[in-house]
Amino acid sequence: MTWQTTQLTPPGDRIDLGIGQPDPVLLPADLFKQTSVDASVLAYGAEAGDERFRYALANWLNQRQSQPASPDNLMVTTGSSNALDMICTRFSQPGDTVLVEDPTYFIARKQLAEHGLTAVAVPMDDDGVDILELAALIEQHRPAFFYTVPTFHNPTGITQSAERRAQLVALARDTACPVVADEVYQYLYYAKPPPDPLASLDERAPVLSIGSFSKLLAPGLRLGWIQGQPEMLTRLIGSALLSSGGGLAPVTSSLVRPLLEDGRFDQHLTRLTGIYRKRLATLLRGLEDNLGDRLAWKAPEGGYFVWAHWRNGANTDAMLPRAHKAGVGYQPGSKFSDSPDQASAMRLCFAFYDEAQLTEACVRLSQL
Ligand SMILES: Cc1ncc(COP(=O)(O)O)c(C=O)c1O
């Protein structure tokens, strides 16, 4: 008897670059071999999350961002998806509008819809969201919030420039429109570090930055955080969910805290980013060698994804069955956007497969 423990069963011989998950062989089970649990974390936890963990997390973040985080502007979540769900619950009402980037993470679109929210898409350029368009849409819709993936964006890989971030945070402050920054790829950089998390830029601006250990350590931990203004966190922490169930992930927080404190997490992250850096280079080389004349893409400097358009405008939805027959997969552009411009796009993930498989996937894509 085999028990189903994982969400995903890899699809046989197909190399499915549509899978946006960590490679199972890179999940660091070794780091958890010697773990034990203290009785104190078996009680209902503090609503904001275990304070010792938040302290260790603040110290870790402070080595990486110029504006200091403190345990008081952090709360613990069970990952980024959970954070967005709680934010929808506490910062919106069914029927509200939420602004999102065009394109945007397809499961975030589903989450917003599950909360009865209408997503209105804002165009992006190579520096992130278009601020003038955003300002006009805030004025027009008075949205509950603006959801953005500012760093190594899913699906485009684009990183919002420092200047754009400053404009965005100023706009949030001036219009009182909350900004929800999903920053799950912030620490997966393969060249220079990206600009600071949005919530650390201006403590007066209504901005929440969401972080997660899913892509940095392991998604099965279900552990993440929200950094933001204490008043906004107070609203989240006051939810009935946390009053009833206590703070989130007290046991997992206690397992991850020592790794943050003694440097084992950093060692793991250095190894991981070294591997992903090579995988990204391999995918880009494979695309260049096999599809350079037929696809257009912009190389990302971190994260998980390359966003590539067929130059001839081929529809990637219609093409997917043929791709599967050829033994390769991707996420079609239509999942991330309703715009016809994105219908010829594919999101290709370089994190899940090794270099040989990534090269083979490019050969298979070139046969389409
Ligand atoms: C932009 C974005 N947000 C959230 C998630 C899910 O994160 P978590 O596992 O922390 O819920 C992903 C994973 O693919 C993602 O790409």
Ligand 1 close to Cβ of residue 103 (< 6 A): no
Of the pLDDT bands very low, low, confident and very high (cuts 50, 70, 90), residue 91 is very high
Ligand 1 close to Cβ of residue 214 (< 6 A): yes
Percent of the chain with pLDDT over 70: 100
- CATH number of the domain encompassing residue 70: 3.40.640.10
153 and 226 share one domain: yes
Q: What confidence score (pLDDT) does residue 68 get?
A: 83
Distance 223 CA to ligand 1 centre (A): 11
Distance CA 216, CA 270 (A): 10
Residue at 193 is within a domain: yes
Distance 1 CA to ligand 1 centre (A): 31
Q: What confidence score (pLDDT) does residue 303 get?
A: 98
Tokens of 82: 């959970």
359 and 347 share one domain: yes
Of 147, 158, 78, 69, nearest to 115 by C-alpha is 147
66 and 210 share one domain: yes
Q: Note the pLDDT tens digit of each residue in 20-58.
A: 999 999 999 999 998 999 999 999 999 999 999 999 999
pLDDT of residue 65 exceeding 90: no
pLDDT of residue 147 exceeding 80: yes
Q: Note the pLDDT tens digit of each residue in 178-190.
A: 999 999 999 999 9
241 and 273 share one domain: no
Residue at 242 is within a domain: yes
Residue at 4 is within a domain: no
Ligand 1 close to Cβ of residue 20 (< 6 A): yes
Please, what is the average pLDDT of the chain?
Answer: 97
241 and 339 share one domain: no
Q: Note the pLDDT tens digit of each residue in 206-218.
A: 999 999 999 999 9
Distance CA 102, CA 223 (A): 27
Distance 105 CA to ligand 1 centre (A): 8
Ligand 1 close to Cβ of residue 151 (< 6 A): no
Distance CA 181, CA 178 (A): 10
220 and 289 share one domain: no
Q: Note the pLDDT tens digit of each residue in 157-177.
A: 999 999 999 999 999 999 999
Q: What confidence score (pLDDT) does residue 268 get?
A: 98
201 and 275 share one domain: no
Q: What confidence score (pLDDT) does residue 355 get?
A: 98
How much is the average pLDDT of 293-316?
A: 98
pLDDT of residue 202 exceeding 80: yes
Q: Note the pLDDT tens digit of each residue in 74-83.
A: 999 999 999 9
249 and 275 share one domain: no
Ligand 1 close to Cβ of residue 80 (< 6 A): yes
Residue 247's domain comprises 40-263
Distance 81 CA to ligand 1 centre (A): 6
pLDDT of residue 1 exceeding 80: no
Residue at 101 is within a domain: yes
Of the pLDDT bands very low, low, confident and very high (cuts 50, 70, 90), residue 341 is very high
Ligand 1 close to Cβ of residue 184 (< 6 A): yes
Distance CA 154, CA 283 (A): 17
Give me the number of domains the chain comprises.
2
Ligand 1 close to Cβ of residue 182 (< 6 A): yes
Which atom of ligand 1 is found nearest the CA of 20?
14
259 and 286 share one domain: no
Of 291, 292, 336, nearest to 153 by C-alpha is 336
Q: What confidence score (pLDDT) does residue 11 get?
A: 80
Which atom of ligand 1 is found nearest the CA of 83?
11
- CATH number of the domain encompassing residue 19: 3.90.1150.10
270 and 248 share one domain: no
- Provide the b/e sequence for 68-80 (b: ≥16 CB within 10 Å): ebebebbbbbbbb
Q: What confidence score (pLDDT) does residue 284 get?
A: 98
Distance 310 CA to ligand 1 centre (A): 26
Percent of the chain with pLDDT over 90: 95
Ligand 1 close to Cβ of residue 105 (< 6 A): yes
Point out the domain boundary residue: 212, 232, 263.
263
Q: Atom 13, ligand 1: which residue's CA is nearest? A: 20
pLDDT of residue 12 exceeding 90: no
pLDDT of residue 2 exceeding 90: no
Residue written as token pair 């995988």: 279
- Specify the amino acid at residue 226: I
Ligand 1 close to Cβ of residue 157 (< 6 A): no
Q: What confidence score (pLDDT) does residue 199 get?
A: 96
Of the pLDDT bands very low, low, confident and very high (cuts 50, 70, 90), residue 66 is confident
pLDDT of residue 5 exceeding 80: yes
> Could you give phi then psi for residue 298, rounded to 5 degrees?
-120, 125
Q: What confidence score (pLDDT) does residue 95 get?
A: 98
285 and 167 share one domain: no
Residue at 191 is within a domain: yes
Point out the domain boundary residue: 210, 232, 263.
263
pLDDT of residue 10 exceeding 80: no
Q: What confidence score (pLDDT) does residue 219 get?
A: 98
Q: What confidence score (pLDDT) does residue 318 get?
A: 97
Q: Atom 14, ligand 1: which residue's CA is nearest? A: 20
